[in-house]
Amino acid sequence: MTKPLVALLSGAGISTDSGIPDYRGPNGLWRKDPEAEKLVTYDYYMGDPEIRRRSWRMRRANRTLQAEPNAAHRAVAELEKSGVPVRVITQNVDGLHQLAGMPARKVVELHGSARGVVCTECHARGSMEDALARVEAGEDDPRCLVCGGILKSATVMFGERLDPVVLGEAVAITKACQVFIAVGSSLQVQPAAGLAGVAADHGARLVIVNAEPTPYDELADEVIREPIGTALPKLLRTLADPS
């Protein structure tokens, strides 16, 4: 029997057990410090050297690059290894799905990756680790080593468009899947949130695993409010072995 294609849309909530704070939850970063949003807003970042310096300091203090995958990330990778076709569409930039063992080609990073940097002028790419080493060495606003342009994290900032090729891949997966699981996402940020609706429209079984209500709950076949670290592995085990 052909196993159903499982698409998993992951948001910040899947990574909170790894020590990475979410953004819009009750204790989310943007609620605690609205000023922090400026540090990841393209126009502010490009127009104000002080914002850039603060952004680099924030990245140095950020736990993202030190974080380890948790039980939920590992459960997704285990499902893929069991022979079930799995595709991950993630709003996260932490790379933890790949670190847990998901093949990189099966992970669509809608908002880019915090593990890389990109030049805003010549688009040369490099590693965040190397850029942060330069900050440690005293460069408070490191420039592109190729052309001297402004460097930024290889993530999609507020005010930037998603890569249309990446978004197209996510939509194609969503339309093709038989099961669509939205986990740890508020489903409030478009166009990623709209994928839940696309999945339902195309006949997929829609499951939402999230602590807070989402705008798509009424479309869902199942809504799970339990902690993600236990709820997701349990749910995925039923997909690996439906008996």
Long-range contacts of 223-232 (CB under 8 A, 24+ apart): 228/13, 228/14, 228/16, 228/17, 228/72, 228/183, 228/184, 229/17, 229/70, 229/71, 229/72, 230/71, 232/14, 232/71, 232/72, 232/75, 232/76, 232/181, 232/183
CA angle 215–216–217, rounded 5-degree value: 100
What element of type H or E holds 42? helix 42-47
User: Which of 73, 97, 111, 123 is labelled catalytic?
Assistant: 111
Catalytic status, residue 73: no
CA angle 58–62–64, rounded 5-degree value: 140
Count the neighbouring beta carbons within 10 Å of the beta carbon of residue 138: 7
Which residues carry out catalysis? 111
